[in-house]
Structure formats: structure tokens, C-alpha cells
Structure 1
Amino acid sequence: MTATEQETRVNGRRGDGLPGRLRSWGLGLFHSVWSPTAVTMRRWALTAVVVNVGISVTGAAVRLTGSGLGCPSWPRCTPGSFVPAPHDDHSPLNMAIEFGNRLLSFLVLAVAVACLVAAFRRVPRRRSLVGLALIQPFGVGVQGLWGGVVVRSLLNPVTVSVHFLLSIGMIAAALALYARAGEGDAPPRRLVHRDIRTLGFVLVAAVFVLLVAGVVVTGTGPHSGDDAASRFSFDIEAMARLHADAVWVVLGLTFALLFALHVTDSPGRARRGALVLLGVELAQGVIGYVQYFLAVPALLVGMHVLGSTLVWIAALRVVFLMRSRGTAPSSAPPAAPAANEVRAAGV
């Protein structure tokens, strides 16, 4: 290659530059929604899982930084303003943290809409995917309205607890969408013994009870989110012991499931899923005990909230790995514009 040809190629690359790469990325993002495949549908569902976990953790950060009423009004941040405005009772930092968490709701909504559009545009259209995808924008709307209840109740621990549990439901729906997008619509076929799968469902139920116990402990202890917030009147030591008991029940069920999967020579993916679940539970248990003995520092509490969502995801994933619905139907999405047509249009 001559020096002139090399210079021409380099200049051509420079001509594309960042705008060209952004344009290409934007087109790819658009086609992943408008002309989805099984792969891109799963990617959007996985993104929904991630953003719902993210907003659960940032919601906890709002409480842990004492910013729960940083925006003391709803739907406005302050009376008369949708954005933070000077307020005597709240510092600018607290207002910014709470307002930032509210803004993240729009990211969750955007991903939810993308999941729904992709499910409708999927060829062939699958009612199971559309139904699961509908839960996402509907859930965001419910969460937004419930957020107003949380603010107007001055962070009542019941409303705060329900807010988190709604996020847990959103995560479950997004994970189900992820699993269903990668498989067919045949009747579920068990890959393990019936009793082992039943044990898996019992384990998921136990994890949910553990999460409920966790939010009760949270609503009883410190880090209320604001000095004006009320607390449950339970004894914190008794609630912490009850929560720890639930942890040991979940660990026992997980050990039983892992042992049953091993001795019955169940599929490797199910055994690996159960092993991942056990690892996440052990890490979460370590964080829980450390935060307890260190008088629940805010950072460890935030990590514990993240861990609780990961335990929930890992438990649900094991159940999905113990059955099969066949392969996902092949897709025939609407043809995307050819590369030369895109260039001709100046896109």
C-alpha cells in the first residue's frame, strides 16, 4: 500500500470519527428494537433486569444518605418546581441525590418501552413475550405513583418496604422475559425429578420471605432516610435474629437442592446455577453479619441491598434452568435498509 493510499484511509477514518460511530451505534440500537431477533430481545430483557436492580440500589442510597425527602413534594421536587429549588429544610446535596434517583426512573421507563416494542415487533410475534414485556412499563407507572405515596407518607416504613418489593417483582418479570425470549413456546419439560423442581419453587418462596424479613429489619433499624420518617415499633434485636433464622433456612434449602441435583446426575447447567446461588448467598451472609457487628454502616447496607437482589435473581434462575420449552422460533424480522441505501439517504 502506498503512502497516499494509507493517508486516504486514515483521513477516511478520521472523517467518520466519533459522530460516525455514534450514528452507527444509534442505528444498531434502533434496529435491535424495531427488527428484533431472539438475541437482541434477550439483551433488552437483560438490560431491564440491570436497570431495575440499579434503581433498587440507588433508591437505597437515597435513604442511606438521608435524602429520602430531598424532594419533599410529588410529582414536583419542591412546591412549584419540578426541578430542585432552594429549600430551607433540605441541603442541595440531598435534593440532588433524590432528584437524580427520580430521573433514573425515565431510564427504566425507556428500557421498558424498548422491551415492549421489541416484543410486539418480534416475528413471529409471541404472546408470552408481549405479556411479560407489558409488565415493565406498567410496573414503572405503578412505581412512580407509589413513590408519591412514599413521599406523602413521610417515608412510612410500610410504604418504603412495598416500594422495594415492587422492584423485586419487576426484576422477576424482566428475568422471566429474558428466559422466555431464549426458548420456545412448547409446554415446559422437566429436566430434573419432579420433587427436585418442587424444592426449587420452595426455595424461591423462602427467598421471598427472607426479602420481606429484610425490609422489616430495615424499617425497624437506622437509616430511615430523613429525621421526620417513622420506624416500625418492633425490637430490632428480635427482628435481626428472625432475619438470620430465615437466612439459615434458605441456606439449608440451597444445600439440599444442590445435593439432590448432584446425586441424581441432573443437567450441568442446573447444578452450576445452584452452585452460583450458594456462592451469592454465602457472600451476602458475610456482608450481613459484618454490617451487623459494625453497627450497620451505610456502605455495607447498600452492598447488602445489592446482594439481596442478586440472591433473588440467582434463585429464580435456578428454577428456569430446571426445565425446557424447546428452542426459540427462528425470526424473520423486517429487512433493515441496505448499507448503500443508508449512505444515499445521508444517515
Structure 2
Amino acid sequence: MKLPSDSANPLVRLLRSFWAPTTRSMRGWAMASVVVNAGIAVTGAGVRVTGSGLGCPTWPKCTPDSFIPVAHPEVSMINMAVEFGNRLLTFLVLAVGAACVIAALRLAPRRPSLLRLAWLQPAGIVLQALWGGVVVNTLLNPFTVGMHFVFSIGLISACWLLYVRAGEGDGPLRRVVHRDLRRLGHVLVAATFALVVAGVVVSGTGPHSGDEMASRFDLDIEAMARLHADVAYLVVGLTFALLFALHVSGAPRTARRAAGAALAVELAQGVIGYTQWFLAVPAALVLLHVLGSTLVWISVLRATTSLRTREPEPLPADHSPTEAAAVA
């Protein structure tokens, strides 16, 4: 299919962005996927804090007799609309993931590394949709609800790596800082993942279960909150250490700015966390905290991926100087 070249038409520009992609448009779709996956994680928390977790009490249908919300004697229509609206957002996330796959398939020359990362998106979204059925059928068991968010973190990671890799070559990995700083970055990612898991446990222990029928972890909420805070201190400390080391070692400005942004996001998230605790966990701050969690994860990924790069893939020895100049 040949698309018209009318660049003034927004629809044509949109179609060309994935049917006749450039590196820039490939990265644009990858960033869009980061945004929509982070967004649906936040709206999923919105379903929980509004008590709409079982607004659609069956899966894949909303009610036993209908795929769309209809009057049900045991469920509020508002709760049903909230839950159904979040289900509909899955199709938006899937559409963006499909655009990433098409763009990776159509990119010339095709890059298998990008295609593999792109395929993770629709595959992960389908997994999320199926897991949503498990969540409903287990009546919002805190483990299944928590895994929903962990899967979202994994999808965001794949989307971010697609964004980063689309702006690089396929040559060997090259450090832009000392190897010990890269190791510190990896430790920071592991600690941040532990922070996310601790936050999931706190959420599964505290209020806002999503429905009166939902169970909770049989844990001491204060002890879990303290553990979560301790891991947060560790993450902030590691991020500060990384930022300090990057400055004193004369690391590239991109890496220093990424680490500084990660520290700022983490500190803001800490303020939100303590505020919601002292205000008895109001729903609005829970949503803000979930948004903060996704931003902390993305900012840490950004800081860590800024510590390395890949050059263009080296040409075979039998390539002529003219071919080499054309590739460059």
C-alpha cells in the first residue's frame, strides 16, 4: 500500500509514522507505548480506589449476559462504568503496541532487535487482559491484583528499551562511564524493583481493596509501610551515590541529568508517600502515588540506560569505502 505524500494531512502523517517509519517516528511510537502503559496502570488504581474492582463481575463479559454494562441488581452502574472504561483502555494500549510492531516490521533496514522488543508489547497486553480475568475470578485477591501492576512495570520496561534501542545502532555495547558505575546502575534497578514489590504488598495490606468482597494480606500494615520506606531510603541513597559519582568522574551530561531527574522524582514520591500515610491514605493521593511509582521506575530506567550506548553495526571487511560512507 502506497500512502499519499500530503504531509499537511494529520491522518496521513499518522499513517506514515508507522507504515513508512523513520527512526524518529519509531521512537515516537515507543514513547507513546510507555505513556499508555503507565496511564493504564494509574487508571487501574483508579478502579481500585473507587471500589469498582468488581464493577464488571464477570470476564470477558461485563455481566453474565452482556459484554457491555447493563443494569445489574448487585452492582452500581457507576462502578460498572468505571471498570468497563478501564477494560476499554486496553484496546488503546493494544493499538499503540500494534503500531510499534508494524513500524518495526516496515523500518528499513529492518532491525531484529527492535522487532523482538516491539512484539513484547502486544504479547504482554494479551497476557495482562487474560490476567484481568484471573483477578476478577479470584475476587480481587491482593496477590493477583499486585501482579497486574508488576506486569505493567515489565511492559513499561520493554517499551522504554524499545525507545532507547531505536535511537542507537546494533553494534557492540559500549560504556560511557566506568564499569563500576554501570554496576551501580544495575543495583539501583534491582533496588527499585524491590521498592515496587514492597509497595504492592503495602497496597494489598491496606485499604482500597477495590470491593467489599476482596481479601487482604494478613500482615501488619505499619510494619509493611516501614519496610517500604526503608527500601525507599535505599533507592534514594543509591541514586544520590550514582549522581555524585557521575559528577566527580566527569560523566557525560546526559547521564548526569538523567540521574538528577531520577533523584528529584524519588524525593517527590517520598513526599507523596508520607503525606498519604499521615492523612490516612486518601484515594486521590493513592492515585498520585501510583503515578509516582511508574515515574520513579521510568526515571531509574532512563538513568541506567544513559550509562551505555551502542554504535552502528560494523560493516563486513569486504565492504567498499563507498558503501561504508553511504552507511555512515
TM bucket normalised to smaller? over 0.9
- Tell whether 2:304 aligns with 1:319: yes
Contact residue 181 and residue 328 of structure 1 kept, 8 A: no
Q: Which amino acid counterpart does residue 126 of structure 1 have in structure 2?
A: R
Give the equivalent residue in structure 2 for 1:337: none
Give the equivalent residue in structure 1 for 2:181: 196
In 1, Cα distance between equivalents of 2:208 and 2:259: 33
Q: Which amino acid counterpart does residue 65 of structure 1 have in structure 2?
A: T
Give the equivalent residue in structure 2 for 1:264: 249
Give the equivalent residue in structure 2 for 1:209: 194
Residue from 31, 39, 50 that aligns with 2:24: 39
Map 1:93-172 onto structure 2 (within 5 A).
Answer: 93-172=78-157
In 1, Cα distance between equivalents of 2:262 and 2:251: 16
Give the secondary structure class of the aligned counterpart of 1:228: coil
- Tell whether 2:229 aligns with 1:227: no
Cα distance, 1:326 vs structure 2? 2.2
Deviations 1:185-229 (A, max 9, x none): 011110000000100000000000000000000000000000000
Give the secondary structure class of the aligned counterpart of 2:305: helix
Give the equivalent residue in structure 2 for 1:181: 166
Of structures 1 and 2, the larger Rg is shown by 1
- Tell whether 2:47 aligns with 1:62: yes
Residue from 81, 85, 89 that aligns with 2:66: 81
Residue from 284, 295, 301 that aligns with 2:269: 284
Give the root-mean-square deviation of aligned CA atoms.
Answer: 1.4
Number of residues paired by the alignment? Answer: 309
- Provide the identity percentage: 64
Cα distance, 1:180 vs structure 2? 0.4
In 2, Cα distance between equivalents of 1:145 and 1:48: 19
Q: Which amino acid counterpart does residue 268 of structure 2 have in structure 1?
A: A
Deviations 1:116-147 (A, max 9, x none): 01000000000000000000000010000000
In 2, Cα distance between equivalents of 1:324 and 1:304: 32
Segments ≥4 residues shifted beyond 3 Å: none
Give the equivalent residue in structure 2 for 1:344: none
Give the secondary structure class of the aligned counterpart of 1:324: strand
In 2, Cα distance between equivalents of 1:54 and 1:170: 12
5+ long unaligned stretches in structure 2: 1-5, 315-328
Cα distance, 1:23 vs structure 2? 8.7
Cα distance, 1:324 vs structure 2? 1.4
Q: Note closer, same or farther for the CA distance 1:229–1:328 as it changes in structure 2 (3 Å cut).
A: farther
5+ long unaligned stretches in structure 1: 1-20, 330-347
- Tell whether 2:224 aligns with 1:243: no
Residue from 284, 287, 295 that aligns with 2:280: 295
Tell me the TM-score normalized by structure 1: 0.88
